[in-house]
Every structure is written in C-alpha cells, then in structure tokens.
Amino acid sequence: MTHKRYSYQPHVGHGLPHDPLNAIIGPRPIGWISSISASGHRNLAPYSFFNCFNYHPPIIGFASSGWKDSVQNISETKEFVWNLATRSLAEAMNESSASVAADQDEFALAGLTPLSASQVKASLVAESPVNFECKLAQLIQLQDAHGKPINSWLVLGEAVAIHIDETLLENGIYQTAKAEPVLRAGGPSAYYGISEAQRFDLVRPDARRI
C-alpha cells in the first residue's frame, strides 16, 4: 500500500504549524540535570534531547541548544546528576525550566529538596526516585554535514553512582512503568506517561537460537 507523503527539506523549512521533528522522535525520556557552578551555585534544568548510550561503563547524555548554565557548570566542574522526572514531579520539573539568572537556585524555585551526592558535588533531587551521579566523559560541540559548528552541545557523562528507590525493584527487577516516568513529545506542551498495560515483549532472533 502506497501512502501519500508530506516531504520537505529542513534547511528550507517544514511549512507546518510546528516543527514535527521532536514529535516524530518521541516520546523521549527527559534529562533532568542538576549541576553546580565552580562558585557553588546550584542549577537544575530539564532537557528533552536525552538518552543512555552505553552499558559498561554506563554513559548517558543530553544535548543543549545553546551554551546554557548547565553546560557552563559541567564544563567547569566536570560532573552532574541526572534525576528521573516522574508524573508526580512533572509540574516541578516544568518549573525548573524557567529562564532565570545563573545564580538563582531552581531547586528553591521548583520547591524541591537538594540532597548531597556521594561521588560528586552536584545535588540530587531528593524527591526523584532514581538519580545517576555522573562524571563528564565528553563535551562536544555538534556540527552539520559540512563540518560547520552549530550552537548545540552534547554532554556525555559516566554514571559513577546510581540510586534507585527500592519500591521500584521487584525480585531485583526494575519496574519501568511503576516509576511513572514523564516522556516529552512534540509541540510546545505535549508529554506522555506509560503504563504496564502498554507493555509487550519481543525476544531477539539471536536469543531464540540459544
């Protein structure tokens, strides 16, 4: 069956009410990143371009459109914390996205509790059920297909300490849906959650041959 396709070249423009890119590549987990400046100012901000990239060592990363406070802090201190954004914390996560001065504490702004980490100076969000303490692995300025640098920065960090609320472990297995993670979708305001009812399982072909 052939479908009629809407096609466009991004450098020319999409011609739609809103760029469909982040709706198509979605929903996406949220990089809720806490950091601290060299002078000791806490920062907390969500990034929708976020994911996990490696098992051993565990590498996670987020991309920032522009050199924002989080990137500046991480470039100075070489560390950060990722905090799981959940449905019950969605409003606070959203509040922490406000554009404020670098010395303003988003923990206080969003009514959240900073918790001391074990391996880094940046604070954990105490209310979040999962936190990754990370050391900076790479800080990369992105570039286009012609090698021209663009104003976007990829931050990759190695998780050196991981904290999980034990209520999310059943027989030692982490329960993804039980955590009620918040996932970013397209448009200016769309988010999604997940539930166990939406789960399905597939076994990889290589595993079936074992």
pLDDT per position in the chain (210 positions), as tens? 778 999 999 999 999 998 889 888 889 999 999 999 999 999 999 999 999 999 999 999 999 999 999 999 999 999 999 999 999 999 999 999 999 999 999 999 999 999 999 999 999 999 999 999 999 999 999 999 999 999 999 999 999 999 999 999 999 999 999 999 999 998 889 999 999 999 999 999 987 776
**Contact between residue 187 and residue 18 where contact means Cβ atoms under 8 Å apart:** yes
Distance CA 141, CA 210 (A): 42
CB atoms within 10 A of CB 143: 11
- Give the pLDDT of residue 174: 97
What b/e readout covers 166-185, taking b as 16+ CB neighbours within 10 angstroms? eebeeeeeeeeeebbbbbbb
pTM score > 0.85 for this model? Answer: yes
pLDDT number for residue 58: 97
The answer to whether position 207 is within a domain reads no
Domain assignment of residue 148, yes or no: yes
Q: Is residue 206 part of a domain?
A: no
Residue 14 in domain: no
**72 inside domain:** yes
Into how many domains does the chain fold? 1
CATH number of the domain where residue 124 is located = 2.30.110.10
- In degrees and rounded to multiples of 5, residue 199 shows phi and psi of -75, 145
Give the Cα separation of 164 and 174 in Å (integer): 9
Q: Is residue 139 part of a domain?
A: yes
Structural domain for 113, as ranges? 26-195
Helices (H), 56-165: 69-77, 90-95, 106-110
Phi, psi for 93 (deg, rounded to 5): -60, -45
Q: Does residue 166 form part of some domain? A: yes
Instruction: Quote the pLDDT of residue 210.
Output: 65
Beta-bridged to residue 64, according to DSSP, are: 153
Is there a domain that residue 65 lies in? yes
Per-residue pLDDT tens over the stretch 24-36: 888 999 999 999 9
